[in-house]
Amino acid sequence: MAVIAGNWKMHMASDQAIEFLAELDLSGVSERHEILLFPPEIYLAALATSEARNPRVQLGPQNIYWEDEGAFTGELSARMASEVGANFVLIGHSERRHVFGETDEEVAHKVRAAQRHGLVPVVCVGETLEERRANRVEEVILRQLNAVIDDLSLGRALIAYEPVWAIGTGETATPKDASLAHETLRERLSQSLGTERARSVAILYGGSVKPSNAGALLSTANVDGVLVGGASLDPRSFAEIAAAAL
Ligand code: 13P
């Protein structure tokens, strides 16, 4: 089973979003795979109730706040997202961490809020180019994982390894880079959750995934799926990526 997830970031007009669902042809994609979409949150309700949505496509917001309600202008709670049809949520995406200054502690709060409301958190981790050059990949991704690891035993959770230098740059981690990072994450998960449970935590790779590299990445050891940015905006390339999962 593989997880194929699309993160639309702050892209797509509302009519384009519905059109995407109508045009997404999953007939070549094995039923064993899970298909997730993370649209801008304003489109969630319309996409969830759209007749054009293949029921295989599950939805989630790209971020949440950890309180359920209150005077938090501009924020979205896990409860609200869940009420309009979300089943998953991206947490700690590198753009949240690096553009908006989100900390490991905030990421952990958000993971707990997601779990309280039955949303499966997809926790993103990954090093910057500077950190990679300084040989700090392990240290950084383990620090980010350790911040949430105690909460991962509470329910289903996914991890996405997205090296920051590979996001939106056209640079992809080689299957070997991805495999090493995923192995590091899996080992830490095993220590904390036990081997069996650790195996059930899907670890996705993200960063310039496209139809031409999806097959190699998806057949790499410890890569259980992909989190796709740019190439998920086109239903054909997204379906092609999903079809590359065996
Ligand atoms: P790109 O696929 O555009 O590099 O984006 C990756 C990403 O950040 C997905 O969350």
Which CATH number do you get for residue 96? 3.20.20.70
Cα-Cα-Cα-Cα dihedral of 97, 102, 103, 107, to 10°?
-90
Atom 2 of ligand 1: nearest residue by CA position: 229
Q: How far is the CA of 173 from the centre of ligand 1 (A)?
A: 12
Q: How far is the CA of 203 from the centre of ligand 1 (A)?
A: 15
How many folded domains does the chain comprise?
1
In angstroms, the CA 17 to CA 44 distance is 10
- Range of 90's domain? 3-243
Ligand 1 pocket, Cβ-based, cut-off 6 angstroms = 7, 93, 162, 167-168, 206-209, 227-231
pLDDT along the chain (246 residues), means of 10: 98 97 97 98 98 97 98 98 98 97 98 97 96 96 97 93 91 91 97 93 96 96 96 98 96
In angstroms, the CA 44 to CA 32 distance is 24
Total residues found in the chain within this entry: 246
What type of residue is 97?
Answer: R
What are the CA-CA distances from residue 42 to residues 19, 49, 81, 195 (Å)?
Answer: 16, 13, 10, 39
pLDDT for residue 32: 96
Q: Which atom of ligand 1 is nearest to the CA of 167?
A: 4
Q: Label residue 238 exposed, middle or buried (CB < 10 Å: 0-12, 13-18, 19+).
A: buried
CB 207 within 8 A of CB 173: yes
Left (φ > 0), alpha (ψ -120 to 50) or beta: where does 162 sit?
Answer: beta
According to DSSP, the residues that pair with 225 across neighbouring strands are 3, 204
In angstroms, the CA 124 to CA 70 distance is 26
Q: What is the helix (H) or strand (E) element at residue 116, kind and residue range?
A: helix 104-116
Q: What is the helix (H) or strand (E) element at residue 65, kind and residue range?
A: none
Mutate to test the pocket of ligand 1, among 88, 227, 240, 241 (most ligand atoms within 8 A of CB): 227
pLDDT for residue 168: 86
226 in helix, strand or coil? strand
pLDDT for residue 171: 83
pLDDT for residue 172: 85
Instruction: State both tokens at 208.
Output: 């310039």
Q: Report, as residue numbers or ranges, the catalytic residues.
A: 93, 162
- Burial pattern 49-72, b for ≥16 Cβ within 10 A else e, equals eeeebeeebbbbbbbbbbeeeeee
Which pTM does this prediction carry? 0.97
Query: Residue 148: CB partners within 8 Å, gap ≥ 6?
Result: 104, 107, 108, 111, 121, 123, 157
